Structure 1
């Protein structure tokens, strides 16, 4: 029997109401904008795949399985994946978590009697580690990419309208991602007012996960690229966003990958390797730790709440074990 207070709402109506709640929780600070964006995108996709006009309470575990499979086969428009289309295991797991959160709320709201996720059997395939483009670049590859970005920031402006030249912005994006390692959501949400100077050092106040903030001192070269972009490359507009398209709109997360790929075209082919913004975050962590920078300092730069999380961002580098054994502290001659 259905409870007396069960409300038979359609998939579309329940999704719309749930997303209203997500937006409200964002305003109150209970959810970060990045998390709200993920929930909104995934629940909207679920409604589209499940059938917007169906009654939510009529969906079964088999129906949810069909949606999960349809999402897994859905082409990932962000990047061309080797070997064909479809969603990565990480994206499938994230989608399943978003749908599960939606149905948990639906039970509390009286839209469904039983959570159909409890009867769903489809799970994401084993991740098997990060895709190559999400791993850290080697030192040579990273230097090649940063060198290409530096070259863009120092190059003479190309011909054409000033407001359509983006080389200074592209250089800044790649240099920040490679050396400071922010989350891509943190980078695109940055505003001009988030950057300040204290005792001659340029800082970026990053608004991260869970409403936490951190002040990161920028390397001198990155600070120089920032000043060049603000002085000569950023379109004149009232928008407070740091990174703007040539039309004067805030860059979206998906635009950042296109910027990296564009800068990669200036890298020597021998040093070039496809990489995502998340791969550059791994690059920052890996090379700072390999250079014996204090682990807690690296944790604070990346915005992790604990050191255990940092360990997942430390990728292996070719030859590092050989170097470690060659310079073993117990076998060095006494000074």
Structure 2
């Protein structure tokens, strides 16, 4: 998506290539590029979410490549080294469950802390760097695109295959159950009343696990986006491409939403973000980067046998997988998730343990009342 958007936005730039090279350091080129992206965002050519991801990726590239180096000096081997360094970089969204807060284990100098970058994150980063250089060539910052000489493979990047993202029934049930139990907790003594976020955290997890919104859709949600029609509570989700969808909320989620609006949000409201649904304890709109921390806090309440680390996008996969496994109409699932094309669901449908076995036990050509004999012609 980033590649398509940026390619369209930069089409005019590629037509004219300057005759002379403008020597720029990596940091100078990245700073100019970020300015261009932000300018196009202000005119509506890029979405804020796309711009945020892209600016973060090129800033990371400058950090790993060395901001003081000349951009035109980078070759394929240098970019290979950056891609490998990014792949082994700890994922800041998640902590290692074995050693939370620990810097490094003894005897493991240079080893990454916690989970490293997922295959999807590596692919996104590579696309971002590729588009950056495709802009740099016609802009006159480099003579040749070093991405054409990149040789590092997915195997070397550690991105052969992403871990299955959807939670199993037991794992999802443990997470949802932990979130629901947080609703009935009384005020504690460890924090001031205006710093307690249990109701908000429970709502975040339940919306992600049952409705499957994109994390940007969740953090952009306003109180006024939740309305009642015909006795049903709906969430008007403002999605990608300016599209909106009205999603009915399950009744257990509605109860948590109402409790949060009546009790939880009131104590967090400082009047800074009067419309935002999800607030930090400082009264500001919850940021995208805070959502993973919320999930991790709720996961800490799940019994170890049912606990598995998961990202916000992994919960989106969980929603799609379990709705489809329950034989929910595919078009209804598409509308819940906000996909424009039905074929996109194929990427969100993950395998579940025991699914094939259950399907074969309920085979339509066989039954316990002699269906096998009917098939073989016996009797």
Report the TM-score when normalising by structure 2. 0.80
Structure 1 residues 30 and 212, CA gap change in structure 2 (3 angstroms): farther
Q: Which residue of 1 aligns with 2:206?
A: 175
The structural deviation recorded for 1:20 is 1.4
Following the alignment from structure 1 to structure 2, what is the Cα–Cα distance between the partners of residues 64 and 326?
51
User: Could you say which residue in structure 2 is the equivalent of 1:203?
Assistant: 234
1:143 to 1:50, Cα distance in 2 relative to 1, 3 A: closer
Alpha-carbon distance in structure 1 between the residues aligned to 2:83 and 2:166? 30
**Alignment map for 1:120-159 (pairs within 5 Å):** 120-125=150-155, 127-132=159-164, 135-159=165-189
CA distance in structure 2 between the partners assigned to 1:272 and 1:74 by the alignment: 24
Query: Aligned to 1:95, which of 125, 130, 136?
Result: 125
Structure 1, unaligned stretches of length 5 or more?
A: none
Query: Are residue 110 (structure 1) and residue 110 (structure 2) matched?
Result: no
Q: Secondary structure at the match of 1:8?
A: coil
Match of 2:57 in 1: 42
1:213: which partner in 2? 244
Computing the radius of gyration over CA atoms, which structure comes out larger, 1 or 2? 2
Deviations 1:148-172 (A, max 9, x none): 2111112323334221111100110
1:64-91 deviation digits (Å, cap 9, x = unpaired)? 2232233233332222468952433322
How far did 1:3 drift?
5.5
Normalised by the length of structure 1, the TM-score is 0.89
Give the distance between the partners of 1:245 and 1:281, measured in 2 at CA.
23
- Once the 2 structures are TM-superposed, how far is the Cα of residue 191 of structure 1 from its aligned partner? 2.2
Q: Distance in 1 between matches of 2:39 and 2:232?
A: 38
Is it true that 1:260 corresponds to 2:295 in the alignment?
Answer: yes
For 1:311 and 1:270, how far apart are their aligned partners in 2?
29
Contact between 2:137 and 2:145, CA under 8 Å: does it hold in 1? Answer: yes
For 2:85, the equivalent position in structure 1 comes to: 70
C-alpha deviation, 1:62, in angstroms: 2.6
Cα contact 1:93–1:123 (8 A) shared by 2: no
Deviation digits for residues 195-226 of structure 1 (CA, Å, limit 9, x no counterpart): 22222222222222333322211111112211
**In structure 2, C-alpha distance between the alignment counterparts of 1:106 and 1:248, rounded to whole Å:** 41
Aligned residues: 331
Q: Secondary structure at the match of 1:202?
A: strand
Alignment CA distance shift 1:272-1:60 (3 Å) = closer
- Per the alignment, residue 13 of structure 1 pairs with 28
Structural RMSD (CA): 2.4
1:30 aligns with 2:51: no
Question: 1:317 deviation in Å?
Answer: 2.0
Secondary structure of the corresponding residue to residue 312 of structure 1: helix
Query: How many Å separate the matches in 1 of 2:166 and 2:18?
Result: 53
